[in-house]
Amino acid sequence: LWWRVEELARRIFRRHGYGEIRTPIFEASGLFERAVGEETDIVGKEMYTFLDRGGRSLTLRPESTAPACRAYVEHRLDRGPQPVRWYYIGPQFRYERPQKGRFRQLHQIGAERLGAGGPDADVEILLLLVDFLEALGFQDLEVRLNTVGDTASRAAYRDALVAYLRPLADRLGPDSQRRLERNPLRILDTKSPEEQQLLAGAPVLSDFLTAESRKHFELVCSTLQSFGIRFRREPKLVRGLDYYTHTVFEVIAAGLGAQDALCGGGAYAGLVEELGGPPTYGVGFAIGQDRLMEVLPACSPVRRDEDRKLVLCRLPAHEADEAALLVAANRLARQLRQQNWTVVLYAGRPERALEVADRLGATGVLFLGESELEEEQVRVRRLSNRSQEVVSWKQLEEFFGSWNP
């Protein structure tokens, strides 16, 4: 099932012009410190960091946006055609407290779009995300959308928020007190009702946006609206990584419990420059695949096995016939595989072969024993209605060519 989800992802991403990027599992620790931000939870307490034999500090990647941008800068991809469109599927590592929906080795399916763009890039990435989730069979996911503005508006807001909260600091919990100095925007995410009450009177980020940021966000929203994509504006959504500018979003899935974010993403207009490249607009998302598998709709097309599957059962025989049966079974299997059937060989009793076929979700079972060998034929059992017929080897191709699962 994991594999089928990934296969669908690759198909859809390719259709949107996204190609795969594979970055190393570990990077220099400084990359994440600079990109994700020293003050974030990820860098502050969740990284798997170690010294290698050369005394270098390395970190198992906690996310893949920074590695993608690092690759873009390192290989001077800004000199090639823009934008660069990438997707990735793979493990990430975060030292979090393990619980439902939260793993230390987590898996993400993500996409990043770098260079040449603005609101149009945000729209492209969001439509890609929605296309993929819809293709998986999701119908009523909630997209939460906000803008954090450009770097300057974000900094101005940060100052205003700290000025508002500092006199109230003794009424904040220990986590938020720590965040007040290090990463105050994260306090907006609080789950504590008392803190939410305190925040009710806090300055709001939208008041600090420049006219340009506002226009950017309105264009994203109105375009999504015209596609009938359901989303909710969430003025308090800030995300836990420092690199975001402009549009940020999360997709929430019911059924995930407390860790209900299925996907997170947004734009990062300053990240490539921060890593030593030219000013470059970037936007992307990452879906938590572990969580995705948990809430995959029961009716998802990827759950339905689109393969045409058969079990070919070689029945018990006298020693004298064994070699000839083995040859015949494999020859018929190869012939059917050329006709795009998946054929699983089984040797043993018919009842067991039927069990195997049921478990595989096969369409039918072919029985090949001594008498069939003699007559150059097989008995074919259709599993849906248990009907059985005899087909000669010569007619096998024709028979299965028109045999619908």
Residue ranges in contact with ligand HAM by CB under 6 A: 63, 65, 94, 96, 101-103, 106, 108, 110, 112, 261-266, 284-286, 288, 290-291
The pair of three-digit structure tokens given for residue 62, joined into one six-digit string:
């906690």
Considering the complex, what minimum distance in angstroms separates the CB of residue 60 from ligand HAM? Answer: 13
Considering the complex, what minimum distance in angstroms separates the CB of residue 318 from ligand HAM? Answer: 56
- Give the CB-nearest residue to ligand HAM: 288
Beta bridge partners of 367: 313, 379
39 secondary structure, DSSP code: T
Whose Cβ is closer to ligand HAM: residue 35's or residue 187's?
35
Cα gap 115→70, rounded to integer Å: 14
The pair of three-digit structure tokens given for residue 88, joined into one six-digit string:
């990735």
Whose Cβ is closer to ligand HAM: residue 94's or residue 314's?
94
Whose Cβ is closer to ligand HAM: residue 98's or residue 316's?
98
Whose Cβ is closer to ligand HAM: residue 285's or residue 367's?
285
The pair of three-digit structure tokens given for residue 9, joined into one six-digit string:
């992802």
Beta bridge partners of 364: 310, 382
Considering the complex, what minimum distance in angstroms separates the CB of residue 252 from ligand HAM? Answer: 9
Considering the complex, what minimum distance in angstroms separates the CB of residue 340 from ligand HAM? Answer: 36
Kind and range of the H or E run holding 107: strand 105-114
Q: Measured between alpha carbons, how far apart are the two ends of the chain, in Å?
A: 20
Whose Cβ is closer to ligand HAM: residue 113's or residue 314's?
113
Cα gap 110→23, rounded to integer Å: 12
Cα gap 173→184, rounded to integer Å: 13
- Cβ atoms of residues 130 and 229 within 8 Å: yes
Considering the complex, what minimum distance in angstroms separates the CB of residue 248 from ligand HAM? Answer: 8
**CA-CA-CA-CA torsion sign (310, 315, 319, 321):** negative
Considering the complex, what minimum distance in angstroms separates the CB of residue 291 from ligand HAM? Answer: 5
Whose Cβ is closer to ligand HAM: residue 188's or residue 263's?
263
